[in-house]
Amino acid sequence: MSLIKITDLHKSFNSQIVLQGINLEIKEGESLAIIGQSGCGKSVFLKSITRLLKPDRGDVYFGAKNLNELSSSELIKIRREIGMVFQSAALFDSLSVKDNVGLGLRESRLFKADEIERIVEEKLNLVGLADAADKSPSELSGGMRKRVGLARAIASNPKVLLYDEPTTGLDPVTADLINELIVDLNKKLNVTSLTVTHDMTSAYKIASRIIMLYNGCIEFDGSPDEIKKCKNEVVQQFINGKSRGPIKVR
Amino acid sequence: MNLGIDAVGRQSLRFIHTLGGLFVIFIRYIISLRYIFSSIKLIIDQVYLVGLKSLPLIVIISIFVGAVSAWQAAYQFKFIGAPLRMLGQAVGKAVVIELAPVLSAIVFAGRVGAGITAELGTMRVTEQIDALESMGINPIRYLVMPRVTASFLMVPFLVIFANFVAIMGALLVAVVGVDLTWETFMIGFRDSFKISDLINGLIKAGVFGMVIGLVGCYHGFNTKGGASGVGKATTESVVLSSVLILVFNFIFAIILFRI
């Protein structure tokens, strides 16, 4: 049985249609990369899965639960099973690194202060930032911010991790470090992951399955090996980074 | 001509949409009040940030408001030949009923309302509010409730100080600039002072505080775009708060101070 099931997902902003009827099933333990041109709706798709954006039409199932039919308190419980790493890391400026990582645990009121401290230390160790616990987000580099965002996302031991362009804006070496961290965490924590990216190096490294969004629909769905051999001109233009071809630059 | 009508129509619809949005956020704020005791630390932080830190500014402004009121009243009294012993009476009423609540609220809107919108607007455009929601934290409880509650509590608190400081400013001008004895000024003030005026002024101040908090949060939550979006939302927040303060002040004048 699939862990996440998306049926007939539609989303538009005013007259701009972004997603038009996405159907997708994601199995437990899968590492899915969602690729596509900038502005094609990858992040919208990711945010629709957690209901940060409400779809115009269509359903998202987490296990047997339809997110559209949940009350706000049930949705909060589901969201605690989904960790999200944002493109800009989205760290809270007013909080230290350790408070950022522990915020979700503290606000859930399910853990005691010493437990939260232990979990925060453990997660910061996992991303290699134990020494930065007392720093403020403004003192961190781009790569460190992403790692803190990752530590925060895994703090509640989620079943699913969503990454929104985790390597964007990083130098190739730091990007590779983040990719390795994602692969490592997926194995250690045994999570299902969905990664939005347009960095093909990253997609090949972290994904067991790749989908490509184009014109609001899924243009390709297959393994990294299959996408390399795919004859579809749209797919080939994108993965090889060519300016000439059927994809028009927006 | 048609373009002008279109523009007025669009602006009217936008204003109605904003009022609807404010009503929704007000209802969500009321619902979130069930968490008030578990969020007491967040509220205390905001009380310090929005309230106590506004105190020096309110004090400085109130001194001059009181001083200029006394000076202008004395000038008018001289012009119409009214006795100067009534200065304390006139200035006291004006300060307690109107000047302290309204001017403190407008200053508070400029300092705190703008700050709330800029902070929440930046959080919105940098996905920090999305991050809160993705962690299962209700942003209305975590961000809106403490700020609106602190504004609601602290504007009346500031108005009490503003009343006192403005009367002192007026007294100073009366004694130094108008040659009135402080006893004469204070007798006039005492004779006209009614506790109901003070309470009505504080009720107004509480409502103004809530309006400023709600408008600040509403515009912050609905910020779009980057830095320019935050700037635009902040400006709109201060303008709308100021307008609503004056509108509510007029409504209160009709309800509380019947002719």
Chain B residue numbers touching A85 (CB-CB < 8 A): none
pLDDT band at B36 (very low <50, low <70, confident <90, very high): very high
pLDDT (0 to 100) of residue A47: 92
Quick check: B138 and A72 CB within 8 A? Answer: yes
Find which of B122, B127, B142, B147 to mutate to test the A interface (most A CBs within 10 Å of its CB): B127
pTM of the model: 0.88
Long-range contacts of B180-186 (CB under 8 A, 24+ apart): B180/B84, B180/B85, B180/B87, B184/B84, B184/B85, B184/B88, B185/B87, B185/B88, B186/B88
Helix (H, G, I), strand (E, B) or coil at A33: strand
- Residue of chain A whose Cα is closest to the Cα of B42: A107
Chain position carrying tokens 């760290």? A91
- Residue of chain A whose Cα is closest to the Cα of B136: A76
pLDDT band at B249 (very low <50, low <70, confident <90, very high): very high
Task: Please state, in angstroms and rounded to a whole number, the distance separating the CA atoms of residues B144 and B24.
Answer: 12
Note whether A47 contacts B: Cβ–Cβ < 8 A: yes
Task: Please state, in angstroms and rounded to a whole number, the distance separating the CA atoms of residues A234 and A239.
Answer: 9
Task: Mention every residue, 6+ apart, whose C-beta is less than 8 A from residue A128.
Answer: A147, A181
Q: Estimate the crossing angle of helix B145-176 against helix B100-108, to 10 degrees.
A: 130
Find which of A43, A107, A111, A148 to mutate to test the B interface (most B CBs within 10 Å of its CB): A107
Q: Among the residues of chain A, which ranges form H helices?
A: 42-49, 72-79, 97-108, 113-126, 142-154, 172-189, 200-206, 224-229, 233-239
Chain A residue numbers touching B138 (CB-CB < 8 A): 72, 76
C-alpha closest to that of A238 among A33, A35, A40, A44 = A35
Three-state DSSP string of B42-62: HHHHHHHHHHHHHHHHHHHHH
Chain A residue numbers touching B230 (CB-CB < 8 A): none
Note whether A209 contacts B: Cβ–Cβ < 8 A: no
Task: Please state, in angstroms and rounded to a whole number, the distance separating the CA atoms of residues A174 and A145.
Answer: 12
Helix (H, G, I), strand (E, B) or coil at A59: strand
**Average pLDDT per block of 10 residues along chain A, 250 residues long:** 90 90 92 91 91 91 90 88 91 94 91 94 90 93 91 92 89 88 88 92 93 92 92 90 80
Quick check: B142 and A108 CB within 8 A? Answer: no
Partners of residue A25 on adjacent β-strands: A5
Q: Which of A80, A86, A107 sits opposite B131 (nearest CB)?
A: A86
pLDDT (0 to 100) of residue A250: 66
Is pLDDT above 90 for B5?
Answer: no
Is pLDDT above 70 for B1?
Answer: no
C-alpha closest to that of B159 among B212, B208, B214 = B208
Task: Please state, in angstroms and rounded to a whole number, the distance separating the CA atoms of residues A233 and A212.
Answer: 12
pLDDT (0 to 100) of residue A185: 86
List, for residues B66-125, the tens digit of each pLDDT value: 999 999 999 999 888 888 888 998 999 999 999 999 999 999 999 999 999 999 999 999
Mean pLDDT for B165-184 is 92
* Cβ atoms within 10 Å of B257's Cβ, excluding its own: 12
* Cβ atoms within 10 Å of B165's Cβ, excluding its own: 22
Amino acid at B166: A
Between the two ends of chain A, the Cα-to-Cα distance in Å is: 38
Note whether A91 contacts B: Cβ–Cβ < 8 A: yes
What order of strands is seen across the sheet that includes strand A209-214? A82-85, A160-164, A192-196, A31-35, A209-214, A217-222
Backbone phi, psi, residue A24, to 5°: -160, 140
Q: Are B88 and B184 in contact (CB under 8 A)?
A: yes
Quick check: B128 and A108 CB within 8 A? Answer: no
Quick check: A79 and B138 CB within 8 A? Answer: no
Chain A residue numbers touching B126 (CB-CB < 8 A): 88, 90
pLDDT (0 to 100) of residue B3: 72
C-alpha closest to that of A47 among A73, A15, A82, A16 = A82
ipTM entry = 0.88
pLDDT (0 to 100) of residue B226: 87
The pair of three-digit structure tokens given for residue A29, joined into one six-digit string:
């333990």
Chain A residue numbers touching B142 (CB-CB < 8 A): 107
Q: Are B115 and B206 in contact (CB under 8 A)?
A: no
Q: In chain B, which residues touch A (CB < 8 A)?
A: 38, 123, 126-128, 130-131, 133-138, 142
Mean pLDDT for B31-51 is 93
Quick check: B135 and A90 CB within 8 A? Answer: no
C-alpha closest to that of A171 among A179, A159, A182 = A179
Quick check: B126 and A84 CB within 8 A? Answer: no
Helix (H, G, I), strand (E, B) or coil at A5: strand
Chain A residue numbers touching B128 (CB-CB < 8 A): 90-93
Chain A residue numbers touching B28 (CB-CB < 8 A): none
- Residue of chain B whose Cα is closest to the Cα of A153: B135
